[in-house]
């Protein structure tokens, strides 16, 4: 292991040649050009490694280690479990090894307890611990969906796993303090974990680990992300210490990544425990490809802005190239926070951080469908199913399984069930609720007491000597028991009041392949947006939940089968493997696309002058405001200057030149100010109208578009104009612009961000328009109308040109630069620009063939099971496809991504060539130019701005005056 560590350390410092630059968390680090290797490694970073470690003293024996497996560990009951153990375990024993079966809080007969608990002495087949090098490694409880997805990527990429080693215990289950660990212990663990699955453990002091996890993560971030605000006032000293520990631990993770990193690797960071790692890592590895996935919910900006360290946390995340969330609403909340809290510009697809786009996407996680299908058919499941059915013969079974947290909605579930028994008295004695609550890592005695009180109240009110309506088990149950419960249930009931991604719902669907029991799902869970076949409820509406329970019990068999077929199809196609592949594919696509902004050099006048003189046919395109004339307080004051008109007239009069003004101004203004310049082409209102050189007729490119969206936008703009002194609305034929140049600068910028978020939520989500953030203005226009389309049209009209000059100054002009970059990349689309059929894809996509293979394996397992056991319920084949699985996903939005590849590209060895935008870029970056393209070195895209401005242009000048001087030199009306 030591040799491995030495190799990686050398790679991360010497070969990279990186000089770390310290950037405070209140600022954003700079992202350098990113180049992926032909076969990059994947470094997965999670809070804890996938294995719980037990240290073995070979000089003594222990009753816990005298069996063949070396452990009494029992399998995880699904993806949503925790590491928590029984509340009666000693405080210094690790929960996962100190699990003892406790009598359930409510008194039930011994037959029921035996039916639920069954035999717990046999370890699960897939959770067998291994003993070697003085330690036992056992699969850690919980997060099975995440780990399954991560491990599936090992088929395509060499994968390294980095995480905190977690609490270490001895063979009796007692926690070993970090100070008692010897270097030999650490070395043995490192070697064993690396040999097993290339796992790199991080060792933390107990106080630091507690301050990070129990301190900041669980008392600050977790409540905030689940919409729970703190209600205790302190002097701030504890919070400061916990924050310091959080920063320290995140720095340890960043250092561990740097030690393992090799050029071209991909880094994937998981969840809210490590929100600062992307920022800290970006400082040391500015050219790394970094992705982050947040498994928890993300709150709205009104909640998130309550966080004292809100700026630091957001900046920490924005060190990544791509950030993924479970649902669209969580992604939208994050983008809104970046805009409203930190003031960054954003679009529905991402955030502009220091000129580089941080892509934000939605990637709903799934489960390992093959594993769940295999485990629910395990030999130990069927006897437990029979025992449960015998115990509750003649009763409808409602099953709930949750961690005992405030956000899991157990209280709401019990109150809704009580309302159901009260509103539908005919169902009393016919329906039972089996609620399993796994203990959390940190016990909540108040919540436990409330739950116990509710259970006792319901059983006392609606129960009898021979019937108990609620059976509550506050304990861990083993995997066979868990799948048996899900398989015999008539209804699955999940009432979370806030949840990231509830995988219990997905496992319930897999277990109901024969029974077709309906799923009642809270609309506040992360899976609600994906499971359209579930019965959605508001957990706070007890009467509504009660009504849905009654309706679910009376659903026809046809309706149950149809709903289950839809749900089952989604679970089988959108697995944990699909989630992981989809995220990494999008990350590779985003960091490899030519749409990556880079810093630009100052325009080299001799070079452009020489290229201009040698060209036989030239295409010149200019924006107006901020490019040919300075930005003025009022739009009407930006009249053309005499020397600018002189240079423009000279350029347009040259028969070898085609000169166009591509502006956001309307036709009337352009004709009034520049109409006297002969042979000058015009494009008005950002590409909505065109007038060819020498013509007086305007061509409307938007006459077939529906402009009814203007009414909604005018209403919003009017609202903010009335509340922002000095702002006004500019009406154009195909767009609307809200100006705040004359408003108070700070208040105007604040109102602009508020207005932008309002538009994104109310307009962008339902209408085909986009928002342009300009200089002191917001503009809304149709999505298909932009300056880039005009550039493409002109290039196609003039294929003979061998010199192109394009100049602009703001966001709207980036469309022109983007169009030029796309032409230079061979005219390819964003996804096509990194697609090369001759190359093998970095990772094989989770395509329809893999979906079909998964479905076939599940069907084969079901067939094998039916041959070995008598079916409990007769199988009714689904006509929609073989084995009840549709042949193709429902809807185009469910279709897996197409395959693609990225070629390994090394940065150029020599100095950049003046005039070429391929300098210091790869074939997949924004400046890529095909070597055989006739205009490879003849495109000059120029932005107006300061030297550190990031843009898709390949040159910059600092002011319109400097650009006009360049035009004077080119036209011959001014000296160089």
Q: Which residues are catalytic?
A: 623
CB–CB of 283/23 below 8 Å?
yes
Residues 1, 6: Cα–Cα separation, whole Å: 9
Residue 22 Cα to chain centre, angstroms: 27
Confirm if 39 and 156 have CB atoms less than 8 A apart: no
Kindly report the CA angle at 819 between 814 and 821, in degrees rounded to 5? 90
3-state secondary structure 254-313: HHHHHHHCCCCCEEEEECHHHCCHHHHHHHHCCCCEEEEECCCCCCCHHHHCCCCCHHHH
Q: DSSP assignment, residue 21? A: -
CB within 8 A of 849, min separation 6: which ones? none
| Residue keyed to tokens 């329906």 | 431
* Cα three-residue angle 189-193-194, rounded to 5 degrees: 115
Q: Phi and psi (nearest 5°) for 174?
A: -85, 140
Q: Among all chains, which residue has been given the structure tokens 């490809």?
A: 289
CA distance 343 to 592: 27
What are residue 102's phi and psi, to 5 degrees?
-110, 150
Non-local (6+) Cβ contacts of 867 within 8 A are none
CB-hemisphere CA count at 13 Å for 741? 14
- Is the Cα torsion angle 387, 863, 890, 330 positive or negative in sign? positive
Q: Are 177 and 206 in contact (CB under 8 A)?
A: yes
Other beta carbons within 10 Å of 456 = 16
Reported as type and span, the H/E element at residue 437 is: strand 431-438
Beta-bridge mates of residue 778: 738, 773
Looking at the DSSP assignment, which residues form a beta bridge with residue 201? 163
By three-state DSSP, how is residue 104 classified?
coil
Cα–Cα distance measured from residue 55 to residue 136, given in angstroms and rounded to the nearest whole number: 6
E runs forming strands in 728-867:
728-731, 736-739, 769-774, 777-782, 803-808
Among candidate residues 96, 92, 101, 73, the one with its CA nearest the CA of residue 84 = 96
Q: Could you give the residue ranges of the DSSP H alpha helices within 593-708?
A: 605-614, 642-653, 667-674
- The H or E element spanning position 657 is strand 657-662
DSSP for 311-374 reads HHHHHHHTTSSEEEESSHHHHHHHHHHHHHTS---EETTEEEETTEEEEEEE------HHHHHH
CA 659 – CA 203 distance, rounded (Å): 65
| Beta strand pairing call for 51-55 and 135-139 | antiparallel
Q: Which residue from 774, 779, 783 is spatially nearest to 814, judged by alpha carbons?
A: 774
Which residue, 637, 619, 639, 519, is CA-closest to 570? 519
Report the C-alpha gap between 476 and 102 in whole angstroms.
9
Residues contacting residue 911 through CB under 8 Å, at least 6 positions apart? none
Q: State how far the Cα of 746 lies from the Cα of 734, in Å rounded to an integer.
A: 29
């Amino acid at each position: 292991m030591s040799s491995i560590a030495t190799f990686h350390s050398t790679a991360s410092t010497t070969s990279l040649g990186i000089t770390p630059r310290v950037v405070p968390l209140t600022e954003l680090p700079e992202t350098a050009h990113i180049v992926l290797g032909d076969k990059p490694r994947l470094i997965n970073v999670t809070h804890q490694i996938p294995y719980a470690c037990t240290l073995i003293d070979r000089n003594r024996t222990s009753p816990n280690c005298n069996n063949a497996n070396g452990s009494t560990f029992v399998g995880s009951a699904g993806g949503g479990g925790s590491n928590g153990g029984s509340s009666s375990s000693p405080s210094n024993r690790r929960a996962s090894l100190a699990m003892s079966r406790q009598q359930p809080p409510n008194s039930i007969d011994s037959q029921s307890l035996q039916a639920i608990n069954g035999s717990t002495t046999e370890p699960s087949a897939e959770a067998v611990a291994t003993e070697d090098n003085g330690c036992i490694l056992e699969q850690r409880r919980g997060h099975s969906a995440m780990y399954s997805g991560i491990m599936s990527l090992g088929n395509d990429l060499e994968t390294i796993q980095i995480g905190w080693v977690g609490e270490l215990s001895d063979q009796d289950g007692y926690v070993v303090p970090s100070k008692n660990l010897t270097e030999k212990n650490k070395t043995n663990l490192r070697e064993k974990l690396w040999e097993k699955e290339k796992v790199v453990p991080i060792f933390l002091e107990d106080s630091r680990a507690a301050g990070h996890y129990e301190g900041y993560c669980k008392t600050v971030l977790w409540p905030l992300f689940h919409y729970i605000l703190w209600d205790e006032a302190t002097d701030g000293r504890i919070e400061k210490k916990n924050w310091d520990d959080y920063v320290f631990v995140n720095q340890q993770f960043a250092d561990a990544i740097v030690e393992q990193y090799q050029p071209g690797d991909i880094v994937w960071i998981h969840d809210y425990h490590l929100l600062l790692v992307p920022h800290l890592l970006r400082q040391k590895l500015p050219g790394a490809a970094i992705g982050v996935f947040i498994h928890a919910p993300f709150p709205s900006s009104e909640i998130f802005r309550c966080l004292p360290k809100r700026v630091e946390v957001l900046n920490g995340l924005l060190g990544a190239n791509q950030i993924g969330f479970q649902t669209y609403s969580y992604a939208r909340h994050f983008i809104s926070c970046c805009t409203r809290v930190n003031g960054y510009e954003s679009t529905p697809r991402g955030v502009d951080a220091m000129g580089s786009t941080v892509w934000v996407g939605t990637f709903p996680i799934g489960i390992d469908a093959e594993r769940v299908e295999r485990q629910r058919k395990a030999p130990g499941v069927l006897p437990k199913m029979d025992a449960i059915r015998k115990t509750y013969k003649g009763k409808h079974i409602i099953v709930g399984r949750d961690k005992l947290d405030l956000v899991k909605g157990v209280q709401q579930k019990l109150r809704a069930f009580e309302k159901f028994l009260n509103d539908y008295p005919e169902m009393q004695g016919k329906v039972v609720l089996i609620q399993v609550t796994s203990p959390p890592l940190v016990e909540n005695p108040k919540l436990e007491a409330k739950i116990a009180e509710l259970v006792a109240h319901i059983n006392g009110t609606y129960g009898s000597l021979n019937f108990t309506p609620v059976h509550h088990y506050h304990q861990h149950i083993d995997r066979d028991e868990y799948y048996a419960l899900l398989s015999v249930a008539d209804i699955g009931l999940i009432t979370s009041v806030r949840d990231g991604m509830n995988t219990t719902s997905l496992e319930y669907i897999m277990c109901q392949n024969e029974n077709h029991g309906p799923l009642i799902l809270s609309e506040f869970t992360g899976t609600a947006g994906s499971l359209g076949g579930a019965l959605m409820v508001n957990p706070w509406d007890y009467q509504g939940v009660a009504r849905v329970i009654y309706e679910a019990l009376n659903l026809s068999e046809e309706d149950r089968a149809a709903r289950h077929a839809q749900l089952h199809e989604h679970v089988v196609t959108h697995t944990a493997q699909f989630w992981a592949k989809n995220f990494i594919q999008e990350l590779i696509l985003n960091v490899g696309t030519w749409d990556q902004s880079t810093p630009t050099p100052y325009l080299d006048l001799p070079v452009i002058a020489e290229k201009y003189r040698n060209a036989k046919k030239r295409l010149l395109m200019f924006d107006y405001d901020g490019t040919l004339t300075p930005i003025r307080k009022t739009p009407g004051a930006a009249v053309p200057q005499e020397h600018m008109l002189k240079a423009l007239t000279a350029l347009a009069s040259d028969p070898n030149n085609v000169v166009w003004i591509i502006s956001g101004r309307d036709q009337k203004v352009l004709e009034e100010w520049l109409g006297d310049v002969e042979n000058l082409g015009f494009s008005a209102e950002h590409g909505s109208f065109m007038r060819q050189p020498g013509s007086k007729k305007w061509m409307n490119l938007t006459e077939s578009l529906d402009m009814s969206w203007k009414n909604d936008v005018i209403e919003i703009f009017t609202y903010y104009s009335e509340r922002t002194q000095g702002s006004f609305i500019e009406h154009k034929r195909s767009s609307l612009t809200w100006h705040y140049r004359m408003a108070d600068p700070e208040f105007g910028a604040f109102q602009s961000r508020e207005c932008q978020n309002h538009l994104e939520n109310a307009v962008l989500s339902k209408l085909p328009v986009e928002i342009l953030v300009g200089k002191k203005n917001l503009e809304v226009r149709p999505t298909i109308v932009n300056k880039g389309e005009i550039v493409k049209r002109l290039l196609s009209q003039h294929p003979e040109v061998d010199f192109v000059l394009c100049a602009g100054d703001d966001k709207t002009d980036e469309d022109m630069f983007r169009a030029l970059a796309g032409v230079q990349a061979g005219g390819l689309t964003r996804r096509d620009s990194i697609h090369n059929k001759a190359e093998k894809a970095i990772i094989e996509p989770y395509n329809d063939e893999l979906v079909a293979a998964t479905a076939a394996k599940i069907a084969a397992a079901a067939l094998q099971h039916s041959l070995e056991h008598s079916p409990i319920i007769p199988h009714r084949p689904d006509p929609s496809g073989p084995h009840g699985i549709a042949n193709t996903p429902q809807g185009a939005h469910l279709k897996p991504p197409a395959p693609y590849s990225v070629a390994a590209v090394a940065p150029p060895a020599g100095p950049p060539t003046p005039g070429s935008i391929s300098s210091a870029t790869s074939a997949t970056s924004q400046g890529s130019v095909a070597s055989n393209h006739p205009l490879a070195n003849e495109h000059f895209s120029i932005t107006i701005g300061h030297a550190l401005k990031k843009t898709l242009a390949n040159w910059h000048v600092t002011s319109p005056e400097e650009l006009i001087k360049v035009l004077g030199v080119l036209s011959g009306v001014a000296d160089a």
